[in-house]
């Protein structure tokens, strides 16, 4: 049962939550505002917050100079593709670890996580050579593969913790009723873990969308996603902050909108099982 909370306390918590939210969101807001300024206004000091000549010329210039939609589609295919492929592999893996744990299950889980501890640049050259010899450089398939492998430990870990929350007795009961393994996973386990799977899916789409090491290093012109699109507007010699902000806004907008609409699922999934 929920505890009675005084109005005062509620107001305080609300204010604190809003302050934290605004602080976290401020850099993004600033990027969006800067994208509507001219280059001279973008570096003006003191900076103007809302009262400047709003202009959309940066967006026009960015679109004229580079093909946004090609990069956008590459990002969609790479992030969704790698996440779906990862889930197909991770659901059975997490099922096995959660419900039929062996002596070494914990070690396997730790070992999977340990692969995340290696700095990616350490394996850049070997992977680059593999990609070169298999013709996967600058292809979306290659990137889907690499990002699947990179995010697999996280997907397995997340699903594992969600599956652990599901009572094994339910699965036992369905087995008693004659369900085979396939039916057990597809019709019993998956529906019960939908919030968990959904939040895993969303989080991994976001992770893959933002991944900027492999997507930059393994692509050239054809498979380059939005991370490469942003990198083409940054410059150490020349002030192009307004254009860079416009490019950044265009790159994060899709994921921001996706996150906005699915925040309920995301929060539910992330806090799933924490209150019992």
Task: Give the interface with another protein as residue ranges (CB under 8 A).
Answer: 39-40, 43-45, 65-66, 124-125, 128-129, 131-132, 137-138, 216-217, 220-222, 224, 228, 231-240
Is there a contact between 68 and 229 (Cβ–Cβ < 8 Å)? yes
Nearer to another protein, 156 or 251 (CB): 251
Nearer to another protein, 67 or 107 (CB): 67
Give the residue from 103, 105, 110 showing the smallest Cα distance to 93: 105
Give the residue from 224, 219, 232 showing the smallest Cα distance to 72: 224
Nearer to another protein, 10 or 222 (CB): 222
Q: Using CA atoms in the order 40, 44, 49, 51, what is the torsion angle rounded to 10 degrees?
A: -60
Give the integer Cα–Cα distance in Å for 184 and 171. Answer: 7
Give the integer Cα–Cα distance in Å for 130 and 235. Answer: 31
Nearer to another protein, 49 or 260 (CB): 49
CB of 65 to another protein, least distance (A): 7
CB of 45 to another protein, least distance (A): 6
CB of 122 to another protein, least distance (A): 13
CB of 41 to another protein, least distance (A): 10
Nearer to another protein, 39 or 183 (CB): 39
CB of 31 to another protein, least distance (A): 16
Give the residue from 163, 174, 9 showing the smallest Cα distance to 90: 163
């Amino acid at each position: 049962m929920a505890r009675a909370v005084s109005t005062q306390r509620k107001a305080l918590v609300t204010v604190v939550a809003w302050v934290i939210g605004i602080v976290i969101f401020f850099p993004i807001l600033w990027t969006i505002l800067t994208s509507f300024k001219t280059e001279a206004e973008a570096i003006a000091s003191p900076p103007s917050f809302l009262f400047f000549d709003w202009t959309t010329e940066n967006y026009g210039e960015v679109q004229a100079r580079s093909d946004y939609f090609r990069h956008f589609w590459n990002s969609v295919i790479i992030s969704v593709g790698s996440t779906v492929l990862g889930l197909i592999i991770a659901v059975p893996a997490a099922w096995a670890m959660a419900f039929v744990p062996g002596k070494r299950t914990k070690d396997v889980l730790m070992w999977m996580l340990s692969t995340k501890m290696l700095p990616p640049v350490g394996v850049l050259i070997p992977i680059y050579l593999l990609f070169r010899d298999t013709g996967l450089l600058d292809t979306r398939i290659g990137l889907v593969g690499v990002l699947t492998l990179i995010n697999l430990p996280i997907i397995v870990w997340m699903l594992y913790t969600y599956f652990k929350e599901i009572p094994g007795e339910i699965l036992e009961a369905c087995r008693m009723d004659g369900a085979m393994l396939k039916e057990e996973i597809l019709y019993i386990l998956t529906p019960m873990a939908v919030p968990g799977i959904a939040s895993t899916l969303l989080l991994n789409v976001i992770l893959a969308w933002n991944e900027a090491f492999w997507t930059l290093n393994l692509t050239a012109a054809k498979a380059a996603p939005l991370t490469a699109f942003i990198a083409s507007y940054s410059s150490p010699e020349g002030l192009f902050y307004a254009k860079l902000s416009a490019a950044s806004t265009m790159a994060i907008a899709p994921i921001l909108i996706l996150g906005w609409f699915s925040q309920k699922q995301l929060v539910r999934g992330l806090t799933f099982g924490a209150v019992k």
